[in-house]
Structure 1
Amino acid sequence: MKEYMFLLLLVVCSAKPYRKSAQFMAKAPQFMIMNDMMLNDEDDDDNNALFPIKRTVTRRPAKPTTDMPPVCPFGCQCYLRVVQCSDLGLTSIPNKIPSDTRLLDLQNNKIKEVKENDLKGLTSLSALFLNNNKLSKVHPKAFQDIKKLKRLYLSHNQLTEVPAKLPKSLAELRIHDNRVKKVQKEAFKGMHFLHVLEMSANPLDNAGIEPGAFEGMTVFHVRIAEAKLTSIPKELPSSIYELHLDHNKISAVELEDFIRYKDLQRLGLGYNKIKEIENGSLANTPNLREIHLENNKLKKVPPGLSDLKYLQVVYLHANSIVKVDVNDFCPTESRVKKSLYSGISLFSNPVKHWEVQPATFRCVAGRNSVHLGNFRK
């Protein structure tokens, strides 16, 4: 027994220190490897005591920097690349706007002009709000440094024409409630990303839209309401999905008015003076889903509604319609596929609703989708 214990003690004393093999390290989890590296860094002769000796760590002095934080214009608030200078009574665009500004809010001031160098260096600007000022002039080179601008709000000012050389990157342009009487040729040329064009509440008539004014642009939503249009503009971009021309002086819809608007889905012609819609004119808008013709002077339901298979909403209230035929809204053949109407308004018309046959609304989603009656002389 003594010999056995002696041999065991001899084996233990002659064993080599334990070291992790390369194969084990390759298969070990990452946290084990990191922990092992940290222990190895601290495992030396000077740190074996029960209470390790603290070392003095020599750190290299930080290099002096000359970079200063961006200066915020006086009176404005700057935070996360947003500069808010609204409601300050400013008469001009302030200086020293941080170059990395993405949103610049200058609305509700008294700014009269955008000069050539007012926006110089703001290459990251994506939104500019200048609505509700006294703008009457925008320099043609004011936007020459801005290549990423997506939203430009110029509503409620005193502009007499669309500013020249607007950024091609615009997705939303609002010039609502100005004094625009003229849209010059190629005013929107190269704007292939524009989604919304708002030009309502301007004294703009058909003669003020020069030929080629909308040439070379792509836009989906156009609104020219509360203007002086006497007919539907025929040179708008063919890409439009929504066209709103309500509150104008349009008196008729002619056959060629919608020839180039094949993708039109929503049409707003309410509050005009329309007396007649020429037969076949709506056939040029096969994708139409909603049409507003309320508050006009129509004497009958517009022809061609039953042929529009996607049409779901029709506003015809407050007209002079005296009769509704059984096939005015629905196709004559039952096998023809037609989307069900979700809304048909015929109230405030002199039609005798008790004379309207129930089959007239055979392609309506439900009885609550039709509104009749309430006519007052």
Structure 2
Amino acid sequence: MRGIILLSLLALCQAGPYKPINVLDIMRRHDIMQQDAADDDDDDNNFLFPSWASPPSDAPDPDCPFACQCSLRVVQCSDLDLKAVPKNIPKDALMIDLQNNMIKEIKENDFKGINSIYALFLVNNKITKIHPKAFSNMNKLKLLYLSYNLLTQIPANLPKNILELRIHDNKINRIQKDAFRGLRSLHVLEMSANPLANSGIELGAFDGMSTLYLRIAEARLTAVPKDFPSSLTELHLDYNKIGKVEVEDFFRYRNLLRLGLGFNQIKFVENGSLASIPNIRELHLDNNKLRSVPPGLDLLKYLRVVYLHANSITRVGVNDFCPSGGNVKKVLYAGISLFANPVKYWEVQPATFRCVSGRRGVQLGNFRRK
């Protein structure tokens, strides 16, 4: 179940131009209905939302805020040019949609008494300040979307049971120590498109948290940060200014299954760097400045997909991808991309790709339709 949840969250997790969130689609995706009042104690079951016992009702809530729509315990107040959070949101609200408004501040009592909320969407507002106690009563909050705002730092006292935090496309240039402490249920952290440099990540910023997926793309990173959670299974640092990969870069991240370093300025990968991630399945190093195939790929027994296109690689050796001698690769490659490199493909020996599942698994040049 944990894997199913993660895949569902990742479908919504890529940063990019603002697109309105379809709240009803999220309801259908997760089969959200009215919560049974007695179903309050199932906090450890890894489900995104608990099971619902009561049938849904189509009758609108008479206490719904002006111009908003309220049904099935979902409060929709998007696209209303609101300058503040409405005062009379129903206390039993399950999902609150306030995206695409003009809200500048989240105050201490804006959500006071709304204790059963599972999803809060504040995307595409003008928020610069969130009171440290604004989320203090939200013990069941799972989805918190704060993207496309003007925040300069991570909000304080985030709910401990949150599963997904989206805070990309803000003005965050600093992550303070213990900013994520206690977030041991977090599966996805998306904070791309913030002006965050390595110097802006304080030592201990990620202490006390556990997460599976982390993406900090389109930032100002010049090296792989060394202080991310060791629980990571996916790390995406594409569209940064990373210039090289060093041996100590992945010491903490032995659980990585997918690593994204595309669209950086990487000129070389230090020998032994990839030995720290023996379980890696997918590696993105495309659109960099590599002049040779990174050393150590032949020792990654479970690596299935490697992207090396759009680099400056001039030569491919016969043992660059596949183990030699008595070593055995546990899983065959499904894809190796080498197109848009100055490789003389006629000089590449056929045995170079002996551990690829099929001939279509290798791309040395661009395919053109006649």
Instruction: Select 1:85's aligned residue among 62, 65, 77.
Output: 77
Counterpart for residue 106 of structure 2: 114
Select 2:172's aligned residue among 154, 176, 180.
Answer: 180
- The one of 145, 149, 152 equivalent to 1:153 is 145
Kindly indicate whether the alpha-carbon contact (under 8 Å) linking 2:118 and 2:140 is maintained by their aligned counterparts in 1.
Answer: yes
Q: Which amino acid aligns with 1:78?
A: C
The answer to whether the Cα contact below 8 Å between 1:182 and 1:204 also exists between their aligned partners in 2 is: yes
Residue of 271, 274, 277 corresponding to 2:266? 274
Cα RMSD of the aligned pairs, angstroms, is 1.1
Contact 1:70 1:98 in 2 (8 A): no
In the alignment, which of 128, 131, 142 is matched to residue 120 of structure 2? 128
- Which residue identity lines up with residue 159 of structure 1 in the other structure? L
Distance 1:283 1:316 in 2: 18
CA contact under 8 A between 2:94 and 2:116: conserved in structure 1? yes
- Which residue of the other structure, out of 248, 260, 267, is the alignment partner of 1:256? 248
Q: In the TM superposition, what is the alpha-carbon distance from 1:373 to its structure 2 partner?
A: 2.5
The alignment status of 1:341 with 2:333, answered yes or no, reads: yes
Partner amino acid, structure 2, of 1:116: E
Does 1:329 pair with 2:321?
Answer: yes
What's the secondary structure of 1:257's corresponding residue?
A: helix
Gaps of 5+ in 1: 1-68
Q: Which amino acid aligns with 2:274?
A: L
Distance 2:366 2:116 in 1: 56
How many aligned positions are there? 307
- 3-state SS of 1:173 partner: strand
Aligned partner letter, 1:83: V
Deviations 1:239-289 (A, max 9, x none): 000000000000000000000101000000000000010000100001100
In structure 2, the partner of 1:11 is none
Percent of aligned pairs with the same amino acid: 67
Counterpart in 2 of 1:22?
A: none
CA distance in 2, matches of 1:143, 1:167: 6
C-alpha displacement of 1:179? 0.3
The one-letter code sitting in structure 1 at the alignment partner of 2:362 is: V
Q: For the residues of structure 1 that align with 2:327 and 2:272, how far apart are their CA atoms?
A: 22
Q: CA deviation at 1:374?
A: 4.5
1:196 and 2:188 correspond? yes
Which structure has more relative contact order (CA 8 Å, sep 6+)? It is: 2
- Residues in 2 aligned to 1:338 and 1:217: alpha-carbon distance in whole angstroms: 32
CA contact (8 A) 2:322 2:329 kept: no
Deviation at 1:338, TM superposition (A): 2.7
3-state secondary structure, aligned to 2:179: coil
Cα 1:318/1:283, change in 2 over 3 Å: same
Secondary structure at the aligned position of 2:220 is classed as coil
Q: 1:305 aligns with which of 278, 289, 297?
A: 297
User: Match of 1:368?
Assistant: 360
TM-score of the aligned structures, taking structure 1 as reference length: 0.80
After the TM superposition, which parts of structure 1 deviate over 4 Å for at least 4 consecutive aligned residues?
Answer: none
What letter is aligned with 1:357? Q
CA contact (8 A) 1:186 1:212 kept: yes
Q: TM-score, normalised by structure 2?
A: 0.82
Answer yes or no: is 1:76 the counterpart of 2:68.
yes
Gaps of 5+ in 2: 1-60
